[in-house]
Structure 1
Amino acid sequence: MCPPSSVRYLSKRAAIQPPSANMNKDYSINLSVQQVLSLWVQGTVPTLQHFTEMWYWVFLWCLFSSLFVHSAVGLLMCVTLQRHKRGRLITVVLISVGFLASLTDAVITSAAVAAVYRVAGKDMAPLEALVFGVGQTAFTVIISFSRILATL
């Protein structure tokens, strides 16, 4: 049983903090592709606060930049292999395998980046999500080229 003085202290402490102090938190999650591409965060705080938001934004930037790179390479392969008997099939297979591999890599690395930010208790700015997403694609391209040159 608590002494009456501690009950009085708790009630005074609760009276000091207004109940609306914790009610102003923004729990909206920004998961719109249009918001990601425009780098616009809806809500009172212009940062990404939740794990799912961070993961989704970094993943989408990695997805779109990877899609851009693979489309450019696919177009180059189609032009280069147009006279080959099975050139178009080779292009479709290689681009599909490369895009799916980078997509799987993007899911894992985006989750790792979001987890580090979440555990550190930091919010992520939309521009940081862009840098991480495009950076993942850039590192994938660099590693891919360095592996090809190492085999020659």
Structure 2
Amino acid sequence: MVMILESKSEEKMWYGVFLWALVSSLFFHVPAGLLALFTLRHHKYGRFMSVSILLMGIVGPITAGILTSAAIAGVYRAAGKEMIPFEALTLGTGQTFCIVVVSFLRILATL
């Protein structure tokens, strides 16, 4: 019975971090995709860039976000700590912030 309760608390931890990472990623990618759609709407192939931006805003957190959120929850569980909702918010948005910083640095490196 105790193991079931522990796994549920770990599930809540990674799920909270994952949801915040997904929401904050969509917060950045939806306006960027709409801006790309608006500015490239007359371009023959450029209009599809907005679709790729929106897909990366969803696919990225689903694939990498699940793994990193589970790793964070595993560290918390190994340490015997409970995660408060503000920590999940901070860790989830922190993941998105790191992704945005790396994305901008890669763009600048290609110029």
- TM-score between both structures, scaled by the size of structure 2: 0.85
CA displacement 1:76-100 (0-9 Å, x = unmatched): 1011102212333232134314531
Alpha-carbon distance, 1:70 to partner: 1.0
Instruction: Give the 4+ runs in structure 1 shifted more than 3 A.
Output: none
Look up the SS of the partner of 1:110 in the other structure.
Answer: helix
- Identity, % of aligned positions: 51
Match of 1:88 in 2: 47
2-structure distance, mates of 1:77, 1:102: 20
Does the alignment pair 1:132 with 2:59?
no
Match of 1:15 in 2: none
Structure 1 spans left out of the alignment, 5+ residues: 1-26, 30-48
- TM-score between both structures, scaled by the size of structure 1: 0.64
The question of whether the paired residues in 2 share the 8 Å contact of 1:117 and 1:124 is answered with yes
The question of whether the paired residues in 2 share the 8 Å contact of 1:102 and 1:140 is answered with no
2-structure distance, mates of 1:130, 1:94: 23
Decide which moves more: 96-105 or 78-87. Answer: 96-105
Give the 5 Å matches for 1:28-107.
50-107=9-66
Look up the SS of the partner of 2:82 in the other structure.
Answer: coil
Match of 1:115 in 2: 74
Structure 1 residues 150 and 102, CA gap change in structure 2 (3 angstroms): farther
Amino acid at match of 2:83: M
Q: Which has the larger radius of gyration?
A: 1
2-structure distance, mates of 1:134, 1:85: 35
Look up the SS of the partner of 2:13 in the other structure.
Answer: helix
- Root-mean-square deviation (CA), in Å? 2.0
Alpha-carbon distance, 1:102 to partner: 3.5
Look up the SS of the partner of 1:124 in the other structure.
Answer: coil
The question of whether the paired residues in 2 share the 8 Å contact of 1:58 and 1:110 is answered with yes
Alpha-carbon distance, 1:58 to partner: 0.3
The question of whether the paired residues in 2 share the 8 Å contact of 1:117 and 1:123 is answered with yes
Alpha-carbon distance, 1:65 to partner: 0.8
The question of whether the paired residues in 1 share the 8 Å contact of 2:32 and 2:53 is answered with no
